[in-house]
Amino acid sequence: MLGLKTQESDKFNKFWELVQEKASEQDKVFFADCGEGNILETSDLECEDMRGWLIPKEKSKEFETEWQQDQVSDKWTGFIFWAEWSENARNIEIRFKTY
């Protein structure tokens, strides 16, 4: 699945689709680095805040090459974001934040 290196459960993949939909609204792709807690698991969904890179689509192929090789250069540091989820009226919302 785009932006993930590992095989995940169907429930997590459903959450990941929400993350990528939110990134796509900004004409970007989110590439995962690691989970950051804030876990929710329901009968059909598994959520976790994620740290990674929010990359403009036009640069995503260039970034993906480095990311796949685990050799992400410092030039991508400004693209590090956290994808944080929250539940609002029984819907899961994704927000990208930097710290």
- CA 46 to CA 56: how far, in whole Å? 26
Q: What is the pTM of this model?
A: 0.94
The helix/strand/coil state of 49 is coil
- CA 58 to CA 60: how far, in whole Å? 6
Cα–Cα separations (whole angstroms), residue 97 to 5, 65, 78: 22, 24, 12
Q: What is the pLDDT of residues 35-84, one digit of tens each?
A: 999 999 988 999 999 999 999 999 999 999 999 999 999 999 999 999 99
The amino acid present at 34, given as its one-letter code, is: C
